[in-house]
Structure 1
Amino acid sequence: MTTRALRAITVLTATAVLGATASTAYAAQHTDRRAPGIVGAWARAWNGTDPQALGALFTADGVYTDEAVAVTFRGRKEIAGWKARADTLIDNVHVTVRTTRLDGERVTVRAVYSGHLKGAPKPFAVPMTTVLDLDRNHCRISSDKDHYSLATVLAQSGLPADWTPPAA
C-alpha cells in the first residue's frame, strides 16, 4: 500500500470515529430536551412533601410498581398513599434525574434515588432506572416501574440485608 493510500485510510477512519463520537455526544447531551415535561413534574413530586402531587400525575387507572420491594399500586389514591408511606420511612427522599430517553409513549429515566431511612446510621444514594409509560398526549403517566437495588440501599444505610420497615 502506498503512503498516499495509508494516509487516505487514516483520514477516513479518523473522520468516521470523530463523526460517531460527536453524534453520540450530541445525543447524550440532548436526550433531556426530548423528554416531556411530565418527567420534571414526576421528579418534583417525589422531591416534594405532597403525596397527592405524585398521584395526580397518573391516569385514573395508572399503575406504579417499585420492583426493589415488589409492590404495585393502582390508581391515584393508592399511588399517593405509597408516596405518603415513603415519606414516613425516608427523610429527604430525593430523585435527581440524570438522563431521559423518549421512545414513542415510553420514557426511560436514569436517576439517583437518595434519602435517609429513619433509624439508619447513614443516608443512601443509589442509581435508579424508571420506565414511564405515558398517555397519548404525554400529559399523564399510565405506568411507572422503578428499578434500583434494595440491597445497595440497605448496605449504604448501614442496615442488615434482612431489615424491614416498621409496620404502618
Structure 2
Amino acid sequence: MTSRTLRTLTVSTAAVALAATAPAAHAAQAGQDTGRRVPAVAAAWARAWNGIEPGALGALFTADGTYTDEAVGMTFRGREEIAGWKARADTLIDDVHVTIRTARLDGDRITVRAVYSGHLKGAPKPFAVPMTTELDLDRNHCRIVADQDHYSLATVLARSGLPADWTPPTP
C-alpha cells in the first residue's frame, strides 16, 4: 500500500468515526463529503427534501415563513404553500435529492452548498447541479423564516437532455 493510499484510508476512516460520534442535534447529512457538522435545521431541511412527506418541509418553517426558488422565480408563503411546493416537485421529479456539501451558520443565517439531483419525468437523463441555499432562522434557530434556493434551471434542463424552453406539464 502506498503512503498516499494509506493517508486517504486514514482520512476516510476518521471522517466515518467523526460522523458516527456527532451529537444528534448536529448529525452529519448522509452523502456529505466534509467532516464538519451540519446545523440541525439544515440537516432536517435536506431530510425533508429527500423524504416523501411534503408536510415535513413545511413544518420546518415559521407560520409566515417564505420559500423562494430563484431558478423558477416563485415564492411560497406559509407552511401549507411550502408543503405544496414540495408535493409539486415530487410530481415533476423522480428521486429528488439534496446532498449537503457544506453548511455554515453565521448569525441567524445558514448558507448551504449542496448538490440538487433527480430525474425530471419524461426527460432522457437524470440531473445533478450545484445549489446554494440561504436559510434565515428565527431567533431561537429552531425554525426557518426564509429560504432562498439558487441553482441554474438552464443547467438542470441541459443535463436532463431537455430544450431550454421546456416547461413542466400542467397537473
- Give the alignment's TM-score, normalised by structure 1: 0.80
Structure 2 Cα separation of the partners of residues 64 and 125 of structure 1: 21
Which residue matches 2:63?
A: 60
Which residue matches 2:24?
A: none
Q: Percent same amino acid among aligned pairs?
A: 80
Which residue matches 1:164?
A: 167
- Correspondence for 1:139 among 134, 139, 142: 142
Counterpart AA for 1:160 = P
How many Å apart are 1:41 and its aligned residue?
Answer: 0.3
SS at match of 1:44: helix
Contact preservation (8 Å) 2:39, 2:103: no
SS at match of 1:42: helix
Contact preservation (8 Å) 1:36, 1:138: no
Structure 2 Cα separation of the partners of residues 155 and 84 of structure 1: 24
Structure number with greater Rg is: 1
Greater share of helix = 1
Which residue matches 2:106?
A: 103
Structure 1 Cα separation of the partners of residues 159 and 39 of structure 2: 32
Which residue matches 1:39?
A: 42
How many Å apart are 1:137 and its aligned residue?
Answer: 0.9
- Correspondence for 1:130 among 126, 129, 133: 133
- Moved beyond 3 Å, runs of 4+: none
Structure 2 unmatched ranges of 5 or more: 1-33
Instruction: Summarize deviations over 1:46-72 as a string: whole Å, max 9, x none.
Output: 000000000000000000000000000
Instruction: Summarize deviations over 1:24-82 as a string: whole Å, max 9, x none.
Output: xxxxx66x43x420011000000000000000000000000000000000000000000
Structure 2 Cα separation of the partners of residues 116 and 100 of structure 1: 25
Contact preservation (8 Å) 1:105, 1:134: yes
Please tell me whether residue 92 in structure 1 is matched to residue 95 in structure 2.
yes
- Give the alignment's TM-score, normalised by structure 2: 0.79
Instruction: Summarize deviations over 1:99-143 as a string: whole Å, max 9, x none.
Output: 011110000000000000000000000000000000111110000
Counterpart AA for 2:123 = A
Which residue matches 1:49?
A: 52
The RMSD of aligned alpha carbons is: 0.9
Structure 1 Cα separation of the partners of residues 130 and 88 of structure 2: 21
- Between Structure 1 and Structure 2, how many residues are aligned? 138
Structure 1 unmatched ranges of 5 or more: 1-28
Which residue matches 1:119?
A: 122
